[in-house]
Every structure is written in structure tokens, then in C-alpha cells.
């Protein structure tokens, strides 16, 4: 195990400087296609018929703000699942395996590992751009996180077009893929949690456990991400230009702050559901009927302008 681990680090340290992908110059076209596809899926499929057919009054009774949030969580969750399926193989092969960006994605294929990584990076960037445009309410921290992801992701691809002036372009892109991988894995469960929160607003015991699990998973994801990122950043220290030695830690701190904020919000939502569960249990013991308490709990649960919006 130790020998294999050493090999992985050596592979990154000696990563050959080369163009990431022949698709890199066409990033604007790729992200435009991604945004068009997200619009079509949102307008004609989800809002058109699918969400209403699946959720019925649960969706139609939501306010316009909450409807947009509900739709967006479905789009973000499904997009991240697709990215994870498509990108897992090239990510592992390039970051910790023996492949390069120019290695064929499949035997005999003209599509390379770099091609797939550029496409999925544009899918993730496009998803965040879509959310900034579509959502009516976002917390300032979420806005900073999304803008930071978009700018740094596109910058990592853009600088790879001039390798003579940007000798650390490849390792910067690799670092961005690691950021993206942790982002997809650690933030997928919160999307599911908020969807279930809308579907089962009165199941306080279930929601309490769900929000606690979301808090724990996002906190663990942030911790693991910080360890891995700074380990890779430190192991490649001699290859970074001075600008990236300064900017990269600052960007990571900004991303981590957004993730920690999400964990804090989920903790508050967990405590709120715990409080509502206690109120219902107390009412049930005293009166033997919780139907009125469900109405009271529904009126007092956090609104969309509070905790749930701050998560994303």
C-alpha cells in the first residue's frame, strides 16, 4: 500500500506539461450547450409536467421562491450524478493512475481523458451559472462560492491554452478537478435532504436525523477536502508560480467557508426539527392527539427565506 501511494504522488509531481484537451478552446461552446440543455430540461420537462406529476400538491402549494429552489435541487442533484458517472474513471486514471490527459477514454477511441474532464468541468460550471440566474434567493456565501467556482474553473482551462507562459496550468486544472470531486460528493446529499424536507414537512423525527446526517457529511467532506487539497498543494510546491502559491490557499478558504456555512445551517435545521418533535411529543402525551400540533408545527417551521435558502 505504501509503495502504491508513493507512486501516485510521484505521478503528480512529474505530470508532463501538455494541452489538457483539444476541446479547451471550445469551452464557450460547451458551456453554452450545457446551459441550453439545462433550460430545456427545466422548462419543458421538470416544470412542464414531470414535477407536478410526481409531487402534485406538494409542489403546486409551494411559493414561487420555493418552487424554483425545489426545481433547482433536482437539476443540481441529477447533474452531479451524471458528472460522477462520467468523470469517475478519467479522474481516477489521471489524478492517481498512470494515464495522461491524452490517454484514450476507451480503447481505440478518439475521445481522451482530458476531453471528458473538460466537458464535465463545464457541466459543473454551467450548473452553478444556471443556479445564479434561475434562483430568486441565495445567501451571500453561496453566491461567492458559485462565482468562485465558475471563475477558477474557467481560468484553469483558459491558462492551459498558453502553456509557455503558464507552466503550472496542468496541475492547477488537476487541483480544480479534486475540488470538483469533493464538491459533487459532499454536496449531493444536501440536495436530497432539502427535497425530502419539502416532501415530508411534518415528519420531524425523520427530518431531524436527515439534517444531522447532512451536517455530519458536509463537515467530514470539508475536512477531507482540506487535507487532500493542501497535501497535493504542498507536494507540488516547487512547481507552483508565486501567484498560485498565494491565490490557491485563499480560494480554498473561501470554498471551505461556504461548506462550513452549509454545515452550520443544517445543524440549526436539525435543532429546529428536534424542537418541533419535542413539542409534538409533549402535546401527544397531554392530549392524545397531534393533528392540531401538526398544523402548529407547519406554521412555525423555518421559511424559505431563512435556513433552506442559505444552504445553496
CA distances from 34 to 91, 124, 144, 146 (A): 20, 9, 21, 16
- pLDDT, one tens digit per residue, over 34-51 is 999 999 999 999 999 999
**pLDDT tens across the length of the chain (312 residues):** 444 444 444 455 656 668 899 999 999 999 999 999 999 999 999 999 999 999 999 999 999 999 999 999 999 999 999 999 999 999 999 888 888 899 999 888 899 999 999 999 999 999 999 999 999 988 888 898 899 899 999 999 999 888 777 777 888 898 899 999 998 888 888 999 999 999 999 999 999 999 999 999 999 999 999 998 888 888 888 888 888 888 888 888 888 888 898 899 999 999 999 999 887 765 543 443 433 333 334 444 444 333 343 344
Distance of CA 184 to the CA centre of its chain: 4
Give the SS3 label for residue 23.
coil
Q: Tens of pLDDT along 26-35?
A: 999 999 999 9
Query: What are the pLDDT digits (tens) for 246-263?
Result: 888 888 888 888 889 889
Entry field: residues in the chain = 312
Output the CA–CA distances (angstroms, integers) from residue 101 to 15, 21, 39, 173, 246, in the order listed.
10, 7, 30, 11, 26
Cα 128 to chain center, whole Å? 9
**Rounded Cα–Cα distance for residues 266 and 251 (Å):** 23
- Cα 123 to Cα 81: distance, rounded to the nearest angstrom: 11
- Domain boundary assignment for the chain: 17-283
Amino acid at each position: 500500500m505504501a509503495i502504491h501511494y508513493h507512486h501516485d504522488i510521484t505521478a503528480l509531481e512529474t505530470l508532463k506539461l501538455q494541452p489538457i484537451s483539444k476541446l479547451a478552446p471550445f469551452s464557450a461552446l460547451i458551456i453554452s450547450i450545457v446551459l441550453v440543455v439545462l433550460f430545456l430540461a427545466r422548462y419543458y420537462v421538470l416544470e412542464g409536467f414531470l414535477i407536478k406529476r410526481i409531487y402534485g400538491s406538494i409542489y403546486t402549494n409551494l411559493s414561487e421562491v420555493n418552487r424554483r429552489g425545489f426545481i433547482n435541487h433536482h437539476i443540481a442533484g441529477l447533474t452531479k450524478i451524471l458528472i460522477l458517472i462520467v468523470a469517475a474513471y478519467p479522474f481516477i486514471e489521471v489524478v492517481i493512475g498512470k494515464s495522461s490527459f491524452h490517454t484514450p477514454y476507451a480503447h481505440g477511441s478518439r475521445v481522451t481523458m482530458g476531453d471528458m474532464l473538460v466537458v464535465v468541468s463545464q457541466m459543473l460550471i454551467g450548473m452553478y451559472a444556471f443556479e445564479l440566474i434561475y434562483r430568486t434567493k441565495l445567501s451571500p456565501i453561496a453566491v461567492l462560492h458559485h462565482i468562485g467556482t465558475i471563475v477558477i474553473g474557467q481560468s484553469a482551462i483558459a491558462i492551459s491554452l498558453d502553456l509557455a507562459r503558464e507552466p503550472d496550468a496542468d496541475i492547477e486544472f488537476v487541483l480544480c478537478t479534486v475540488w470538483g470531486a469533493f464538491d459533487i460528493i459532499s454536496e449531493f446529499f444536501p440536495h436530497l435532504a432539502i427535497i425530502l424536507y419539502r416532501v415530508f414537512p411534518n415528519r420531524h423525527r425523520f427530518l431531524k436525523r436527515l439534517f444531522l446526517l447532512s451536517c455530519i457529511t458536509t463537515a467530514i467532506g470539508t475536512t477531507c477536502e482540506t487535507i487532500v487539497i493542501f497535501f497535493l498543494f504542498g507536494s507540488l510546491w516547487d512547481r507552483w508560480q508565486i501567484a498560485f502559491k498565494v491565490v490557491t490557499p485563499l480560494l480554498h478558504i473561501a470554498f471551505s467557508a461556504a461548506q462550513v456555512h452549509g454545515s452550520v445551517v443544517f445543524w440549526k435545521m436539525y435543532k429546529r426539527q428536534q424542537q418541533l418533535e419535542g413539542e409534538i411529543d409533549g402535546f401527544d402525551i397531554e392530549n392524545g392527539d397531534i393533528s392540531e400540533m401538526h398544523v402548529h408545527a407547519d406554521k412555525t417551521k423555518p421559511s424559505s427565506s431563512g435556513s433552506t435558502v442559505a444552504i445553496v
